[in-house]
Structure 1
Amino acid sequence: MTIWSVLVFILGIVVGGGLVHLGQRHISGTKLKETEQLASKILEEARKEAQVQKKEYLLQAQDEIFRRKKEQEQDYRDREHELKKQESRLLEKEERLEHKLEKISQKESEIVYLEKSLIQRERDFAVQEERLAELTETQQKRLQEISGLTVEEAKKRLMEEIESQARHESAKTIRQIESETRETADRKAKEILATAIQRYAGDFVAEQTVSSVALPSDDMKGRIIGREGRNIRALEAATGVDLIIDDTPETVILSAYSPLRREIAKQSLERLISDGRIHPARIEDIVKKVEQEMDVKLREWGEQATFDVGVHGIHPEIIRLLGQLRYRTSFSQNVLQHSLEVAFVCGIMAAELNLDVKKAKRAGLLHDIGKAVDHEVEGPHATIGADLAKKYGEGKDIVHAIAAHHEEVPPKSILAVLVQAADSLSGARPGARKELLENYVKRLEDLEGMATDMEGVSKAFAIQAGRELRVVVESDMVDDDKTFLLCTDLTKKIEQNLTYPGQIRVTVIRERRAVGYAK
């Protein structure tokens, strides 16, 4: 029984007693009976209510006991599951340890076996060494008995024989060296004569490397250089040509491996000198105008070449590429002049064989057209030229002759064989070619190509005979910090992919300009 039940019961008794007492004092006989009945009814109801509350509290207590029991069972199951997991992990570790112990025991047994084998081999080797020493001593004694010589006498006789044989071999070597020296001297003499023939045209060789611009006075040198060298740097950056201003009176030297760049720089500088206004903005305008005019001249020279050979109906783009060959050299030989020679020789041989002379001249003129763009397109110039000819509507026989003139594809027509022969004749004449300059130009082109392939680079110029590379970057794409990173990456790329003497200085230029016009 709970506290509430006791309180209700006591309250019922007090109330009942009070009512009885009052009834006895104030109420008469009938009312007293009613009062007693009411009191007993109240007591009965209090007892019933106490019983109901007692049952409710018992039910609540049983629910709480059941809930806690369930929680304890769940906790027990969780702990039991965790213990099983730990037990399984411990079993796995025990199995792995046992496996490792088995391997270790196997290795130990193998090591023991190997040690025993090595010890036995050492003993066998020691026995064999003793036997060899005995046999060697026995053989030496027998040799001494047979030859009648002591060891020292045998050594002396052997040294004499070796010395005699060495003298004989050295005499043969000397005679061979003398013979090779005569042959080398003869070959060297021929090389000297060939070099002399190649260098006979001194003016032509100078035109392949430098150009000079005459100045009205030495004061003009200072204006060309500009304040803090701004003008000369702008001109070099715009043209890719190295300007050499030295003590030579009234002369500026332009140096660049590309004749086209050198010609553009020469014309630009001459116009700036005659105009008198020399500053970076003016330099850029003049260079752009000269480049546009040069493009017109290239077309004119291409048309003149087709007119000289007597071929017509060539696509205008191929004509422009022909004009561009005027500023392209192959082994120091001008490619446009070489193409004209090949065209004429092809025509002569075709006439002797009663073949189509115009078609032969056409194939000879276009055979090296790929050299106009081989610095921009990957692959052999013969294949590039054949693709260009096919693209711009040349016939299949012309395309094949261009592709086969260096045997990238086997020649399958008489025209292709004629172009091969004419190309060899034009290049084989005395003084026509010199390999060193071609390799040098190829290296400079590769140097510029490595720079222009990198992201953010707008222009790249190899100057100072390839000892310096100047790179102009887009200021919007490359900031100041990335400029230094680009310079470092380009330096590493050159070191890994290019072979060159000495060192190459890499200069990366980033410049932001604001241009306005006052009207």
Structure 2
Amino acid sequence: MLASIVAAIVCGVIGVGAGYIYRKNIAEGKIGQAEVEAQRIISTAQQNAEARKKELVLEGKEEVHKLRTDAERENKERRSELQRMERRLLQKEEHLDKKFESIEKKEESLQRKEDEVTKIQEKIEALHAQEMAELERISGLTYDEAKELLLCNVQSEVKHETAQMIKMMEDEAKEEAEGKAREIIATAIQRCAADHVAETTVSVVSLPNDEMKGRIIGREGRNIRAIETLTGVDLIIDDTPEAVILSCFDPIRREIARIALEKLIADGRIHPARIEEMVEKARKEVNQKIREAGEQATYETGVHGLHPELIKILGRLRYRTSYGQNVLRHSIEVSQLAGIMAAELGVDETLAKRAGLIHDIGKALDHELEGTHVSIGAEVAKKYGESKLSINCISAHHGDEEPRSIEAVLVSAADAVSAARPGARRETLENYLKRLTKLEEIAKSFDGVEDCFAIQAGREIRVMVKPEKIDESDCVLLVHDIVKRIEAELEYPGQIKVVVIRETRMIDYAK
């Protein structure tokens, strides 16, 4: 058994050794083949590299030959071009040489002519000097004296002719301007026809029966006192059957009282608490009407972009009158007239209509604020963002400020046309003429006054004084005295501007 095991082990060892030797021989054979193949590949690569090297050398030689040929051809072409340019330059030089010679000949000719002209001028100057000396001898005047005399005569003649021409042109311009102005105003009035109803400072409320008067008065007069206290309106209950008269200078308060009283009469319950409730409702209703009136005025005139507060103030003019003329209707008419005249003249129609609509805006507040309606209106317009030109139109429409634009003049003219046309205001012609006559009489009553004129519908008076009797310092006292007399003796709306004019004129006559 042991021998078998040993024999098996020996056989195994012998087999392993034989296998190892066999595999070694196979590997050595493969390595030898690989070395032979590597030698063959290297040999082939070297042969290919030599062949490629020869090809590249040949290609390089061909490229060099080609470049050399191209360079020689290019150099040949450049030499040909340079030769052509050289020939052209030589031709130009020859041409310039010929021109230069021609110019030199012309310069020599011109120089000879200049010398001849100089000699002729010297001869002319000598002859002129001889003639001037002869003229001075004959006339007995030197050259400067004769020149001055001639210039004076020519200047006098030109001045005279110029003055005549200017006078003629001024006359023609005035005639044409007056005709054009009349035409524009007539066209504006025709295109803007507005009716006005004279308004009063009292309102009449109709009653269903005379028993209602007692209910309005109330026990011991408490109802009527409550109405008068809450509205600021005087109730006049007289013998007029079935009617109560409301009297107040403020049309808005009068309108609130009228609406409240009509509501109380319709309701039938009249006592202080009910009166207070109805007055508050009437006040809201009137405020609504005021806003609607302002909006309607802006729509009617086509004026947009006014501040909401300015529209409310404008609507209050519906309840404001001037000599019986409704101020809101007057403002709308002025806006339309100014806009039409601006369109005819080709100026800013929008500015003219806007300024015309708000030119009397101060009348809505003149009983609440101090100052004239012009100054109040200008401040209100400035407060609510109106332009400087629009504010100037307001300030200048009664002459309180100089107009800075054509639109300001048009607004002033439209205001005068609207106020002065027949039927617009309640003031009679007789009273109007009496006031103007009295105004001129007051001014003429002062010593040293030569003449005076009431203008601007009695809003301004211009006083001309004699300069030999009234000096500059006396003018200051005179205008102050005239103002005091007017304030003491006349009744008038608004204010009156007094202008004292003193001038010295030098007059002579050509015979």
What TM-score do the two structures reach when normalised by structure 2?
Answer: 0.44
Larger Rg: 2
TM-score of the superposition, structure 1-length normalised? 0.44
